Structure 1
Amino acid sequence: MSPTPTAPRALPDVALETRTDHGGPLAAVGMQQIEMPVLLRLPDGSAQRVAARVDVEVDLARADARGIHMSRLYLELDRHLSAEPLAPAGLRRLLRDCLASHAGLSTRAQVRLRFAHLVRRAALASANTGWRSYPLEIVASLERERCVLEVVFEVQYSSTCPASAALARQLIQQRFTADFPTTQALDHGAVLAWLGTSDGIVATPHSQRSTARVQLQLAEDAPLAIEEWIDAVEHALQTPVQTAVKREDEQAFALANGQNLMFCEDAARRMRAALAADSRIADFLVRASHHESLHPHDAVAVATKGVPGGYAGLP
């Protein structure tokens, strides 16, 4: 005889238990580093699916509740992030649904998405192109129907030290004076040939790969114009790192560095000028870090938009 089927049993849910011992509200409860794909709208209108790591949290406002339902948060993430490209309105709906799934328990919600944004870049001089990967972070938080959206990204660039360049020029002048004394008539051909030797560039300024970290707080209803902001920062700095490089590209890059000498202070001010007039950005904080080749520590400068009560300098 076949066994008699048993009636389905309700599964226990200890998260619903109330606590009288060690009770109290919690500022945030949730999950970090969730593996999840997200859709990103590209400038040409197409959508690109990228692998992301997602953090999601809600507060536990009810003092006697033991815990939240983390599976509900995961399912809301999966449902929303799989359905449409990332946009402020969609992130706001996601946060509202996270709170709705914890009605009576939570009053605040936050989601943080981290992924690499790939952009195809043209070479400086040749006809080649290549890929650049930009670390990107999007943070959305909701409390009392106020949604705050932040975008954080990094740009790699080259920086050549103005002080080092001045010192190198002085040494080149000294070598020129030694090789072409004032008692000797200058010969154009001889000088031109000298400039093409190691004697003609006896010293070079130090330069290094540098990092710009840009943190933006978006204005209400502003779109996610990620590539526009990346382009604006790279254009301001003038020397973003390259992808495909032939000799003509390397020469163009050397020229760009020579024509754009900058301290970290210069880089921070350039970025501030590039972002200050953008009405889509309510506030920003930019950090220029020059990973010096002269010494083992970084040179750092920070600039903000200067909004009262907004981002404030070094942490």
Structure 2
Amino acid sequence: MKDVQSQKDTRNIALKKVGINDLKWPIKVLDKTSGEQTTVSTMDLSVYLPHDQRGTHMSRFVEVIKEAPQFSPKGLEEMLKHLVERLEAKTGHCRIAFDYFVTKASPVTGIMAPYDVQCCFDAEYSVETGFKFILEVAVPATTLCPCSKEISEFGAHNQRAIIKMKIEMDKLIWIEDLVKIAEESASSPIFTLLKRQDEKWVTEQAYLNPRFVEDVARETAARLEAYEGITWYSTYVESIESIHNHNAFAYTEKGCTL
């Protein structure tokens, strides 16, 4: 059959990324406790398209995913190398977003329950520059306003915050360890299942540990900076405000010191 995608294009415009997106796909990812965890992902895959090639072969993206050995940094490097080889491209990129479940015990009663965080693998392979991998993790937590606590006769407003971290690494960093960093940087962690004794602990823990969104961003950055194996990081913290008609956020990344 005629290969239309391989026809020559004369407009002299290369396309940086061409591919598929929003593909739902079951995957297995590494789990610190049990070794492996099965979840459902949403994938985007693309390659660089030269200026003189009309199109790429979209079906080959799915074929390469089917043959992927493992959805880990090493496995993604192998998959992207295979992708650029199959499509005769010089770069390949994938973004894989998924829910990851951490089993947590409630703080007082110790009841175990799964707790989900939003994760993403963002990977690129270039025949010229090699492999690049970024791990993204978004962790919900509680913040309590220091100003509100200071000026109020009793109580203080608190809200959920989302702590989003991106890291590059030179050794394996577990998702669970990033969750711990985020929770230790906030006023209090949150939990899936709480009894009254647990709820009392969470409320009082937040009150004793007030944090602005700026505090959380700086605390997270300080912990990421000190963590062995992390070579680059960024952190974006958004506070979903409870008494304002807007949210608050703070962002920083490695090297932002002045």
Q: Which has a greater percent of helix?
A: 1
Aligned to 1:199: none
Q: Secondary structure at the match of 2:227?
A: coil
Distance in structure 2 (CA, Å) of the matches to 1:66 and 1:23: 10
Aligned to 1:251: 200
The CA deviation at 1:145 is: 4.3
Distance in structure 1 (CA, Å) of the matches to 2:145 and 2:129: 48
Match of 1:232 among 159, 168, 181: 181
RMSD over equivalenced CA pairs, Å: 1.7
Aligned to 1:65: 53
Are 2:31 and 1:13 aligned?
no
* Equivalent pair of 1:117/1:133 in contact (CA under 8 Å): yes
Distance in structure 1 (CA, Å) of the matches to 2:18 and 2:173: 27
The CA deviation at 1:303 is: 2.1
Q: Secondary structure at the match of 1:208?
A: strand
Aligned to 1:79: 67
Query: Aligned AA for 1:215?
Result: K
Aligned to 2:79: 94
Distance in structure 1 (CA, Å) of the matches to 2:85 and 2:32: 33
The CA deviation at 1:238 is: 4.9
* Equivalent pair of 2:187/2:210 in contact (CA under 8 Å): no
* Equivalent pair of 1:148/1:218 in contact (CA under 8 Å): no
The CA deviation at 1:29 is: 0.4
* Equivalent pair of 1:155/1:230 in contact (CA under 8 Å): yes
* Equivalent pair of 1:120/1:129 in contact (CA under 8 Å): yes
Q: Secondary structure at the match of 2:188?
A: coil
* Equivalent pair of 1:87/1:223 in contact (CA under 8 Å): no
Aligned to 1:132: 115
Aligned to 2:99: 116
Identical aligned residues as a percent: 24
Q: Which has a greater percent of strand?
A: 2
* Equivalent pair of 1:36/1:78 in contact (CA under 8 Å): no
Q: Secondary structure at the match of 2:26?
A: strand
Q: Secondary structure at the match of 1:125?
A: coil
Distance in structure 2 (CA, Å) of the matches to 1:307 and 1:142: 27
Query: Where in structure 2 are there 5+ consecutive unaligned residues?
Result: none
Aligned to 2:136: 152
Task: Please tell me whether Structure 1 or Structure 2 has the larger radius of gyration of its CA atoms.
Answer: 1
| TM-score under structure 2 length normalisation | 0.94
| TM-score under structure 1 length normalisation | 0.77
Query: Where in structure 1 are there 5+ consecutive unaligned residues?
Result: 1-10, 172-202, 309-315
The CA deviation at 1:127 is: 2.8
The CA deviation at 1:23 is: 4.2
| Structure 1 outlier segments of 4+, above 4 Å | none
The CA deviation at 1:45 is: 4.7
* Equivalent pair of 1:36/1:51 in contact (CA under 8 Å): yes
Distance in structure 1 (CA, Å) of the matches to 2:72 and 2:148: 45
With over 3 angstroms needed to count, the CA separation of the structure-2 counterparts of 1:283 and 1:307, relative to structure 1, is farther
Are 2:173 and 1:217 aligned?
no
